[in-house]
Amino acid sequence: MEIGIIYGLVFIIGTLFGSFFTLAVYRIPEGLDILHEHSFCPNCGGKLKARDLIPVLSYIVLGGKCRYCGKKIRIRYLILEILSGIVFLLFFLSLKFDFTYITKYQVINFIFFILYFAGLFIIAGIDKERKTIQKEVLVYEMIVSILFMVYVCISRAKVIYTYIIYLAFFAIVLLIDILIIRKNLKSNYTMSMIELALCMIAFSGTERFYYSVAFCFIYIALERIILMIKDKEKRKSIINTGKIELPMGYYLIISNIFLNILCNFLLN
């Protein structure tokens, strides 16, 4: 019974995060404030009330429409909130906490992973919508990853030199990236992907990272096949142009989150 309440809470927190993610995905690329400014309807600009901000429920109460102008709210937001709740719950379950004995280490680890996933969700969302890896969010993710590495280094202090090599590599990548940005005045997608990969290695280790890459390609291939079967027009365009721009960051992130949860379930 009590455990059920904990699971329910984790799911609700997940949907709250999900509602924040959708807001961040919409606002960050536009350069809008994500923390202080009131939420508003993108169609009429009407300010949302506190009760309109409750994930899932407010969508159902309002019938999926804006309170002021009646414009339909994309169902994608509802789906994303629920998905975020499910991912949070699955991740929590995958850690198989023993509630009679929770260590400080487990709690800190859990918080680090939530911060890590939060950044991933936002990067994935922006990449899917705009096919760019948002630098600000990536910088946040890199800071979280480096802090996590330092924390692991201090708390376990086993083989420090691997962490030092990792951090040195990270520093070199960042330096090259800064030089590229200074030359072209804009960030490079490939460079951002390498930085994203380094963040993933920090959190999930090299082995799970390789699996994520493998899974990512299987995922893309399957999606292409389904798309080509479902949509004849698309099939023609894929075959004719032979070139498709894919939000690689998005695919890799979905794969990494999925694999982290799956490996936790199987191994812990």
Q: CB of residue 70 vs Zn ion: minimum separation in angstroms?
A: 7
Q: Is 103 helix (H, G, I), strand (E, B) or coil?
A: coil
Query: For residues 53 and 167, which CB has a smaller minimum distance to Zn ion in the complex?
Result: 53
Query: For residues 48 and 153, which CB has a smaller minimum distance to Zn ion in the complex?
Result: 48
Query: For residues 31 and 45, which CB has a smaller minimum distance to Zn ion in the complex?
Result: 45
Query: For residues 32 and 150, which CB has a smaller minimum distance to Zn ion in the complex?
Result: 32
Question: How many helices (H) does the chain have, and how many strands (E)?
Answer: 9, 0
Q: Are 77 and 6 in contact (CB under 8 A)?
A: no
Per the structure block, which two tokens stand in for 141?
């993710």
Q: CB of residue 41 vs Zn ion: minimum separation in angstroms?
A: 3
Q: CB of residue 37 vs Zn ion: minimum separation in angstroms?
A: 16
The sign of the dihedral angle between the CA atoms of 8, 14, 15, 20 is: positive
Would you give the DSSP letter of residue 186? Answer: S
Query: For residues 47 and 236, which CB has a smaller minimum distance to Zn ion in the complex?
Result: 47
What is the binding site for Zn ion (CB under 5 A)?
41, 43-44, 46, 66, 68-69
Q: Are 63 and 72 in contact (CB under 8 A)?
A: no
Residues near 168 by beta carbon (within 8 Å), at least 6 away in sequence: none
Query: For residues 66 and 196, which CB has a smaller minimum distance to Zn ion in the complex?
Result: 66
Q: CB of residue 75 vs Zn ion: minimum separation in angstroms?
A: 16
Centre a 10 Å sphere on the Cβ of residue 227 and count the other Cβ atoms it contains: 13
28/122 Cα distance (integer angstroms) = 9
- Return the H-helix or E-strand segment holding 102: none
Q: CB of residue 82 vs Zn ion: minimum separation in angstroms?
A: 22
79/219 Cα distance (integer angstroms) = 20
